[in-house]
Amino acid sequence: MSNLTEIEFYDRLAEFFDVMTDWRSRLAFEMPFLLQILAQHQVRSVLDCASGTGWHAIALAQRGYRVAGSDASAEMIARARQNAQRESVAIPFHVATFQNLRATFAERFDSVLCLGNSFPHVLTDDAARASLANVRDVLRAGGVLVLHNLNYDKRWRDKPRWFAVNSGTLDGRETLVWRFADYGESLITFNVALFAKSDKGAWSVQVQSTPQRPYQHQELENLLRAAGFRKLEFYGSLQGEAFDPAQSGDLVIVAVSI
């Protein structure tokens, strides 16, 4: 089975994305810290540049922020627009990769969010530099980036294979989503198995895979400083505890654009 590109992977995953994520619990966990950071930096406008199906952007718009969203996947953006319409919030969502943010958005934002382990889909040094330059260029001077990845200092050492199964219903069908990883010499293959139960009780499964780059915290710090970010702060999750490279599950970097 060959790997999919990031866009192919998330276009296929889009219909399952809100099944595989407990958004009520996730937002309750993550929003207090995000709101604290935004308040500290006097943020009024936010670009969620890996918005998926839009729920972080929607939650911020409901709290009075001026919000825009982007994602590389057109299918994700279509669902984000549907979700925003159902929640009665006006958010401009655009199809855009990290590397064409500058060409997509004329506005300079007070904050850019890159959440949900999205940046590891940027696989090369050149692409990483171009991506962070675009993020910097859609921020005002003094604007704040919140970059949220898994902690690959720990994961690359421990190489965990299997992750939790999420379940729900999609079009009335019982659905399970199981994520797992394969580790290569320099990249990780991220796999998602999508199980769906038919009306007759039979299960079918689709497995799709895409590469990710396991950025470690020093590597990201160097890239961010080279791109023009300063005042870097490191956290171990989106609840704001201190980052421990050996123990933290996540790596959250808060950085200010110069």
120, 233: one domain: yes
241, 147: one domain: yes
Residue 184: CB atoms within 10 Å: 9
User: Which range of residues forms the domain containing residue 201?
Assistant: 155-212
Using a pLDDT cut of 70, give the percent of the chain over it.
Answer: 100
State the CATH number of the domain containing residue 195. Answer: 2.20.25
Give a yes or no: residue 239 inside a domain. Answer: yes
72, 189: one domain: no
- DSSP tag of 119: G
| Per-residue pLDDT tens digits for 174-220 | 888 899 999 999 999 999 999 988 888 899 999 999 999 999 999 99
pLDDT of residue 231: 97
Cβ atoms of 183 and 22 within 8 Å: the answer is no
106, 163: one domain: no
Split at pLDDT 50, 70, 90, the class of 137 is very high
Q: Convert 179-216 into a string of H (helix), E (strand) and C (coil).
A: EEEEECCCCEEEEEEEEEECCCCCEEEEEEEEEECCCC
State the CATH number of the domain containing residue 39. Answer: 3.40.50.150
| Per-residue pLDDT tens digits for 26-45 | 999 999 999 999 999 999 99
Task: Output 42-45 pairs: Cβ under 8 A, ≥24 positions apart.
Answer: 42/110, 43/110, 43/111, 43/143, 43/144, 44/110, 45/107, 45/109, 45/110, 45/111
Name the burial class of residue 135, with classes exposed (0-12), middle (13-18) and buried (19+) by CB atoms within 10 angstroms of its CB.
Answer: buried
CA separation for the pair 31, 12 (Å, rounded):
28
19, 106: one domain: yes
| Per-residue pLDDT tens digits for 13-29 | 998 888 888 899 999 99
Give a yes or no: residue 1 inside a domain. Answer: no
Model confidence, pTM = 0.95
132, 90: one domain: yes
CA separation for the pair 234, 254 (Å, rounded):
7
In this structure, are strands 173-183 and 188-197 parallel, antiparallel, or unpaired? antiparallel
Closest by CA to 217, choosing from 205, 225, 206, is: 225
Whole-angstrom CA distances from 164 to 178, 180, 230 are: 7, 9, 36
Task: Please state the rounded mean pLDDT for residues 113-134.
Answer: 98
State the total domains in the chain. Answer: 2
205, 238: one domain: no
CA separation for the pair 9, 67 (Å, rounded):
26
Residue 55: CB atoms within 10 Å: 22
pLDDT of residue 158: 97
Give a yes or no: residue 55 inside a domain. Answer: yes
Per the listing, tokens 């409901």 go with: 62
pLDDT surpassing 90 at residue 155: yes
12, 121: one domain: yes
213-242: b or e for each residue (b if 16 or more CB lie within 10 Å)?
bbbbbeebeebbeebbbeebebbbbbeeee
Terminal Cα-to-Cα distance of the chain (whole angstroms): 44
140, 122: one domain: yes
Give a yes or no: residue 36 inside a domain. Answer: yes
pLDDT of residue 1: 55
